[in-house]
């Protein structure tokens, strides 16, 4: 066994230890520690990605002296490595790019706790990506839930307190439903490790035993995770949560945390329920319909919004709709498109939030469209970054957004009945995306009313420029040289 297979364990334990240590450190040290940690995790994920990509296999890493079904396990494959790499890179750029706002928004007494919680989020995301055990997944979902509320409410203004109460309630309902599902699955199979669960469920489904509990478990787990990731009828926590958090937190919550839950859901579909059982149960049609509605209604809500952050948040609801639509369309091409869109959204949304924060600061912290008139002239680079992000969300080549829309369209051609509605909804939603992003772009590039009330010194902007350039480059590279990435996703789906 190659030594690099130990890296996920080290990365998880190291982030847990760093979070505990950060609680004792002063702000600056905690910040540096987090940045170093994310960099190291990204590097180690890249090594794992190279190794698993080269061998083309999936490895099971036994956590302790007992193999499954007795002890915990991690599952290490190219897909997992790719997502942990992407997540840690985006986390790194969120913390870097939002550092200026973090300094303003955080109270000195508690600001090191922010980095502590971000480290915990990193650990939880890694586990959600790598775990091969259902209950471990649940435990780290809890960490993810509490830590996300923490990084939301640490900016103490009235709206964030209310938003985090609302987010907490939604999120806890989701965790509760997930736990019910896990209990039901354990009752009918007696296993918690994913490979054993999958065998048992396939057998039970074939024999027609315990059909009701199995279906109920699938429904509860899917609904639980879709509440937490913000699928259409459950997306009402999104605008407040993303709109009023400090920009780094908005980027992390929209770009990573909700994606972690989606990745876990896909893992469950493939590794626990098995694609045959899941796609026979008809649940994918529910995802399809809800994703379909989410794409339209999320975009319409975004169009009606007057606040730039809330508009981006509603656009997130629409993008989550795309992902669930992909899961609903088909288990091969659709899911590959959904996974690609997870990456697209993870790279693009933080960029939008960070640059919007910069733009709003250029006009003195205002967030309404009326007041953002011409702000891109005051902060040229932020305007450029916002433009690239918008183009990627609309789906203009050579950005990643174009590739994901292309993949969704391709997947539509492989689905018989769903082809026409999928293509129509893609077209309609692209038009809607264009309307609200073009409106924003026109507004921010319109002639300014005067001079900028608050110029940000260039030195203070450096971290933002660094992270924005990084995100843009990632976006463009993945958009131009997308074929290796798409191949990797499709191959790993076959390996699942």
CB of 10 to another protein, least distance (A): 7
CB of 459 to another protein, least distance (A): 22
CB of 104 to another protein, least distance (A): 9
Nearest one of 264, 265, 266 to 128, comparing CA atoms:
264
> Of the listed pieces 61-69, 263-271, 387-395, 475-483, which binds another protein according to CB under 8 A?
61-69
For residues 11 and 385, which CB has a smaller minimum distance to another protein in the complex? 11
Token reading at 490: 């499709």
For residues 103 and 166, which CB has a smaller minimum distance to another protein in the complex? 166
List the one residue from 4, 40, 47, 61 that touches another protein (CB under 8 A).
61
Alpha carbon 161 to its chain centroid, in Å, reads 22
Interaction pattern, residues 102-121, with another protein; x per rule: CB under 8 A:
-----x-xx--xx-xx--x-
Residue 26 makes contact with another protein by CB under 8 A: no
Residue 51 makes contact with another protein by CB under 8 A: no
Residue 375 makes contact with another protein by CB under 8 A: no
The phi, psi pair for 243, rounded to 5°, reads -75, -25
Nearest one of 311, 319, 313 to 369, comparing CA atoms:
311
Residue 279 makes contact with another protein by CB under 8 A: no
For residues 13 and 438, which CB has a smaller minimum distance to another protein in the complex? 13
Residue 173 makes contact with another protein by CB under 8 A: no
List the one residue from 55, 156, 280, 487 that touches another protein (CB under 8 A).
156
Token reading at 192: 């918690």
Left if phi > 0, otherwise alpha if psi is -120 to 50, otherwise beta: which for 74? Answer: beta
Which distant-in-sequence residues (6+ apart) come within 8 Å of 82 by Cβ? 45, 49, 485, 488, 489, 492
* d(C-alpha 496, C-alpha 491), whole Å: 9
User: Which residues of 167-235 form beta strands (DSSP E)?
Assistant: none
Long-range contacts of 282-287, Cβ-Cβ distance < 8 Å, separation of 24 or more: 283/218, 283/219, 283/222, 284/327, 284/328, 284/331, 285/328, 286/222, 286/328, 287/222, 287/226, 287/231, 287/324, 287/325, 287/327, 287/328
Residue 301 makes contact with another protein by CB under 8 A: yes
Token reading at 78: 């190219």
List the one residue from 30, 31, 41, 69 that touches another protein (CB under 8 A).
69
List the one residue from 30, 41, 49, 127 that touches another protein (CB under 8 A).
127
CB of 45 to another protein, least distance (A): 18
CB of 494 to another protein, least distance (A): 26
Nearest one of 56, 282, 71, 335 to 195, comparing CA atoms:
71
The phi, psi pair for 133, rounded to 5°, reads -135, 130
Which distant-in-sequence residues (6+ apart) come within 8 Å of 20 by Cβ? 116
CB of 484 to another protein, least distance (A): 30
Interaction pattern, residues 308-347, with another protein; x per rule: CB under 8 A:
--x---x---------------------------------
CB of 476 to another protein, least distance (A): 33
The phi, psi pair for 63, rounded to 5°, reads -90, 85
Q: Tell me if residue 75 falls in helix, strand or coil.
A: strand
List the one residue from 30, 149, 194, 325 that touches another protein (CB under 8 A).
149
List the one residue from 32, 36, 50, 139 that touches another protein (CB under 8 A).
139
> Of the listed pieces 5-13, 412-420, 454-462, 481-489, which binds another protein according to CB under 8 A?
5-13
CB of 21 to another protein, least distance (A): 7
For residues 201 and 337, which CB has a smaller minimum distance to another protein in the complex? 201
Residue 9 makes contact with another protein by CB under 8 A: yes
Report the 10 Å Cβ neighbour count for 207: 9
CB of 414 to another protein, least distance (A): 34
């Amino acid at each position: 066994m190659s030594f690099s297979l130990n890296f996920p364990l080290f990365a998880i334990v190291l982030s847990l230890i760093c979070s505990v240590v950060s609680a004792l450190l002063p702000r600056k040290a905690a910040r540096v520690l987090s940045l170093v940690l994310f960099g190291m995790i990204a590097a180690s994920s890249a090594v794992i990605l190279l190794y698993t990509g080269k061998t083309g296999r999936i490895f099971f890493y036994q956590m302790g002296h007992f193999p499954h079904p007795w002890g915990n396990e991690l599952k290490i494959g190219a897909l997992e490595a790719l997502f942990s790499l992407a997540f840690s890179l985006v986390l790194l750029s969120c913390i870097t790019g939002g550092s200026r706002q973090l300094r303003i928004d955080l109270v000195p007494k508690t600001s090191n706790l922010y980095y502590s919680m971000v480290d915990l989020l990193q650990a939880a995301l890694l586990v959600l990506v790598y775990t091969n055990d259902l209950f471990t997944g649940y435990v780290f979902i809890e960490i993810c839930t509490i830590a996300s509320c923490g990084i939301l409410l640490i900016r103490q203004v009235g709206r964030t307190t209310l938003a985090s109460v609302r987010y907490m309630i939604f999120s806890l309902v989701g965790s509760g439903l997930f736990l019910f599902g896990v209990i039901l699955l354990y009752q009918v199979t007696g296993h918690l490790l994913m490979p054993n669960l999958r065998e048992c469920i396939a057998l039970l489904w074939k024999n027609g035993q315990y059909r009701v509990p199995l279906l109920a478990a699938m429904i509860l787990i899917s609904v639980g995770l879709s509440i937490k990731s913000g699928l259409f009828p459950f997306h009402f926590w999104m605008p407040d949560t993303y709109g009023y958090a400090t920009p780094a937190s908005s980027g992390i919550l929209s770009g990573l945390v909700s994606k972690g839950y989606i990745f876990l859901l896909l893992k469950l579909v493939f590794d626990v329920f098995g694609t045959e059982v899941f796609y026979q149960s008809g649940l994918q049609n529910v995802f399809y319909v809800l994703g379909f509605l989410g794409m339209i209604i999320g975009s319409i809500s975004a169009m009606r919004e007057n606040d730039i952050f809330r508009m981006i948040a509603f656009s997130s609801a629409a993008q989550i709709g795309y992902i669930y639509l992909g899961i609903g369309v088909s288990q091969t091409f659709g899911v590959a498109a959904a996974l690609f869109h997870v990456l697209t959204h993870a790279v693009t949304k933080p960029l939008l939030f960070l640059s919007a924060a910069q733009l709003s600061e250029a006009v003195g912290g205002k967030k309404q469209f009326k007041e953002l008139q011409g702000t891109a002239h005051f902060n040229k680079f932020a305007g450029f970054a916002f433009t690239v992000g918008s183009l990627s969300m609309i789906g203009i080549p050579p950005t990643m957004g174009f590739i994901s829309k292309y993949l969704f369209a391709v997947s539509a051609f492989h689905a018989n009945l769903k082809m026409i509605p999928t293509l129509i909804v893609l077209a309609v939603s692209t038009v809607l995306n264009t309307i609200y992003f073009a409106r924003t772009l026109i507004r921010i590039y319109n002639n300014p009313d005067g001079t900028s009330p608050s110029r940000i010194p260039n030195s203070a902007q450096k971290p933002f420029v660094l992270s924005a350039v990084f995100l843009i480059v990632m976006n463009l590279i993945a958009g131009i040289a997308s074929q290796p990435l798409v191949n990797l996703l499709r191959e790993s789906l076959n390996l699942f």
